[in-house]
Copies of this chain bind each other. A is one copy, B any other.
Amino acid sequence: MTAAAAADRPEIPAARFGERLASASALAVDRGVDGVLVGVGADLRYLTGYRALPLERLTMLVVRPLGAPVLVAPRLEALPARSCPAAASGALEVMTWSETDDPIALVVRLVGGAHRLAVSDRLWAMFVLRLQTALSGVAFSLASPILQELRIVKDADEVALLRLAAGAADRAMEGILRGRLVGRTEADVSREIGERLVAEGHETVEFAIVGSGPNSASPHHDPGERVIRAGEPVLFDIGGTLAGYSSDITRMAWITGGNEQAGPDADYRRLYDVLQGAQAAAAAAARPGIAAERVDAIARERIAAAGHGDHFIHRIGHGIGLEGHEEPYLVAGNALPLREGMAFSVEPGIYLEGRYGARIEDIVVCGSDGPRVLNEVPRGLRLVGG
């Protein structure tokens, strides 16, 4: 990708981080929480725009209902911390600690008098337990009930970034499906997928699953030294982040090696048709008001009716945004009604252990009147000759 293309990217306006911080503070008051402690990761990036390194030196955003938000950061990261959009625009104060200081003591001073504190869901135990020891009378809870209320609905700028990430992943997927596969190891093809995702503008590659033959029946297969052959399916599930926002797409190929006799057998054709119909029906159902679990059930009922109910061994989807998996989860038991701006995967699978399997996945945004499907790679079973 050229620098010019990067410069054309939509951006989250700096003022929005101040709005998000204010919303988080207001929600904390609503929930009776005296402070929200946010470690490095997607929550921090959402609230401040700061991309901190995930290291053992404490970086922590302290959101206080009764005071301005403060970002605690190691002194050697003072400049990037002060340059993040929220700090640069004046919505966030930065306090640094030096190498032999105790950053936990600094956080404790900032939340003095608190009775209830929420911590970000992915804060490390090394910080959670130290905070609990230093604040022994305080009740700790997770910050997700507060922060997911904000993050679960994407605004137009976020949807634009998700669309960019999906487009880049689509091009990487097309490149792989059009290239040579026969005779290569899964690991080798996986490496090429990583290179293609980066070449298309991704800054991280989170996964590049290549599951050939019987490995296509293992949903999260770790690509290895197995060589791809004619006469078998290959599952590709790939994704990473672009400008912080996640991509995630799954497509299936059947390797013919150019030999008509090595095409998919009748069982696989039938299985694939059922799956494709189920995926399309579930994606089409995404609209405001429908329960998250209902999207799962729509696909599951079709797959079960075809005799594959026991072979669809995972939920149909997960939310997506600054994290690859986040709320809303589309799973039995989650009655949450979908809202406009929610973004999630729709990815049913059918897996015959030891034999083969299939999954089809798109990222879908819930629009005002129905789904907006972000991925555009054709969903039919791709026959690959070479």
Q: Bound complex: CA of A320 vs CA of B222, how far in Å?
A: 25
B314–A99 touching, CB < 8 Å: yes
Q: Is A55 an interface residue (CB 8 A)?
A: yes
Question: Chain A: how many interface residues by the 8 Å CB criterion?
Answer: 56
Q: Residue on B with the closest CB to A98? A: B313
Q: List 14 A-B contacts (CB under 8 A).
A: A3-B187, A3-B225, A6-B187, A53-B207, A80-B218, A99-B313, A99-B314, A99-B332, A100-B331, A100-B333, A121-B124, A122-B126, A124-B124, A198-B198
Q: Bound complex: CA of A331 vs CA of B100, how far in Å?
A: 8
Q: Residue on B with the closest CB to A126? A: B121
Q: Is A355 an interface residue (CB 8 A)?
A: no
Q: Is A125 an interface residue (CB 8 A)?
A: yes
What B residues does A218 contact at CB under 8 A? 76-80
Q: Is A180 an interface residue (CB 8 A)?
A: no
Encoded as 1 (CB less than 8 Å from any B CB) or 0, chain A from 92 to 136 comes to 000000111000000000000000000111111110110000000
Q: Is A155 an interface residue (CB 8 A)?
A: no
Judged by DSSP, the binding face of A is mixed
Known: A77-B220, A195-B198. A325 touches B123 (CB 8 A): no
Partner pick for A219 among B6, B56, B77, B129, CB 8 A cutoff: B77
Least Cβ distance of A172 to chain B in Å?
14
Known: A79-B221, A219-B77. A142 touches B129 (CB 8 A): yes
Least Cβ distance of A86 to chain B in Å?
15
Encoded as 1 (CB less than 8 Å from any B CB) or 0, chain A from 170 to 197 comes to 0000000000000001011001001100
Known: A51-B222, A313-B76. A128 touches B126 (CB 8 A): no
Partner pick for A129 among B83, B128, B191, CB 8 A cutoff: B128
A99–B220 touching, CB < 8 Å: no
Partner pick for A125 among B98, B128, B217, CB 8 A cutoff: B128
B221–A100 touching, CB < 8 Å: no
What B residues does A215 contact at CB under 8 A? 79
Q: Is A268 an interface residue (CB 8 A)?
A: no
Binding site for B on A (CB under 8 A): 3, 6-7, 51, 53, 55-56, 75-80, 83, 98-100, 119-126, 128-129, 140-142, 144, 185, 187-188, 191, 194-195, 198, 207, 215, 217-222, 225, 313-315, 318, 324-325, 331-333
What B residues does A221 contact at CB under 8 A? 79-80
What B residues does A128 contact at CB under 8 A? 125, 128-129
- Report, nearest first, the 4 A-B pairs whose CB atoms are least far apart: A79-B218, A121-B126, A76-B219, A123-B125
B99–A315 touching, CB < 8 Å: yes
A332–B100 touching, CB < 8 Å: yes
Q: Bound complex: CA of A129 vs CA of B125, how far in Å?
A: 9
Known: A80-B221, A188-B3. A313 touches B123 (CB 8 A): no
Q: Bound complex: CA of A119 vs CA of B119, how far in Å?
A: 17
- Among A141, A187, A313, chain B packs the most CB atoms within 10 A around the CB of A313
Known: A53-B207, A122-B125, A123-B125. A198 touches B188 (CB 8 A): no
A129–B140 touching, CB < 8 Å: yes
What B residues does A195 contact at CB under 8 A? 195, 198
Q: Residue on B with the closest CB to A125? A: B123
B313–A75 touching, CB < 8 Å: yes
A314–B129 touching, CB < 8 Å: no
Q: Bound complex: CA of A230 vs CA of B53, how far in Å?
A: 29
A141–B122 touching, CB < 8 Å: no
